[in-house]
Amino acid sequence: MKRKPILIFVSVLFMAACGQEFLDVKPGVRQRTPSSWEDYLGLLDNTSNMNSSSHALGMIGADEYFITQDRYETFPSGVFHNYQKRAYIWDERIFEGNETYFLDWNGGYSNILWANLVLDGVKSLPVAEGERELADMVKGMALFHRAWNFYCLAQLFCPVYGQGDANTQLGLPLRLEADVTVNVKRSTLEATYQRIIRDLEDAIPLLPEVSSIQFRPGKAAVYALLAKTYLQMGDYRLAYDYADRCLDLKRELLDYNRIDLMLPAPFSPNGQDNPEIVFFAICPGNTTFRLLLTSHYMQPDTNLLKLYGPDDLRSRAFFEKTATGEFQYKGSYDGSGIYNYFTGLAIDEMYLIRAECAARSGMVEEALNDLNFLRKHRVEADGYTLLSHNDPKIILSWILAERRRELVLRGTRWEDLRRLNKEVEFATTLVRRLGETEVRLEPGSVRYVWPLPVEAVSLGGYEQNVR
Q: In sequence order, what DSSP letters do the residues of 375-406 get, joined into one string? A: HHTTB-GGG------S-HHHHHHHHHHHHHHH
Strands 319-321 and 327-329: antiparallel
Query: H or E segment at 235?
Result: none
Domain regions of the chain by residue span: 9-460
Which own/partner contact pairs does 391-397 have at CB distance under 8 Å and 24+ positions apart? 392/359, 392/360, 392/362, 392/363, 392/364, 392/367, 393/425, 395/359, 395/364, 395/367, 395/368, 395/371, 396/356, 396/359, 396/360, 396/367
Q: What is the pLDDT along the chain (467 residues), one digit of tens a residue?
A: 444 433 333 333 333 334 333 344 444 444 458 999 999 999 999 999 999 999 999 999 999 999 999 999 999 988 888 999 999 999 999 998 877 666 899 999 999 999 999 999 999 999 999 999 999 999 999 999 999 999 999 999 999 999 889 999 999 999 999 987 788 999 999 999 999 999 999 999 999 999 999 999 999 999 999 999 999 999 999 999 999 999 999 999 999 999 999 999 999 999 999 999 999 999 987 666 678 888 889 999 999 999 999 999 999 999 999 988 899 999 999 998 777 899 999 999 999 999 999 999 999 999 999 999 999 999 999 989 999 999 999 999 999 999 999 999 999 999 999 999 999 999 999 999 999 999 999 999 999 999 999 988 988 899 999 99
**What's the whole-model pTM score?**
0.93
Say if CB 84 and CB 437 are below 8 A apart.
no
Can you give the pLDDT at residue 286? Answer: 63
Q: What is the pLDDT of residue 289?
A: 65
379: closest CA among 257, 261, 253?
A: 257
- In the chain, the amino acid numbered 325 is G
CA atoms within 13 A on the CB side of 30: 7
* Residue 410, pLDDT score: 97
- Residue 207 CA to chain centroid, in angstroms? 21
Distances (CA, A) of 208 to 146, 178, 200, 211: 18, 26, 14, 6
- pLDDT, position 100: 66
Interhelix angle 392-406/364-376, rounded to 10 degrees, is 30
Per-position DSSP letters for 266-292, written without gaps between them: -S-GGGTT-TTEEE--EEE-SSGGGGG
Q: Which CATH number applies to 9-460? A: 1.25.40.390
Which helix or strand (DSSP H or E) is residue 26 part of?
A: strand 25-30
CA–CA separation, 336 vs 258, rounded Å? Answer: 19
Distance CA 134, CA 143 (A): 14
3-class DSSP state of 250: coil
- Of the candidates 217, 283, 287, the one whose C-alpha atom is nearest the C-alpha of residue 246 is 217
Query: So what's the pLDDT on residue 30?
Result: 45
pLDDT computed for residue 296 by the predictor: 84
3-state secondary structure 320-365: EECCCCCEEECCCCCCCCCCEEECCEEHHHHHHHHHHHHHHCCCHH
CA dihedral sign of residues 97, 103, 107, 108:
negative
Residue 253 contacts residue 373 (beta carbons within 8 Å) = yes
Which amino acid is residue 108, in one-letter code?
G
Would you call 120 exposed, middle or buried from its count of C-beta atoms within 10 A (0-12, 13-18, 19+)?
middle
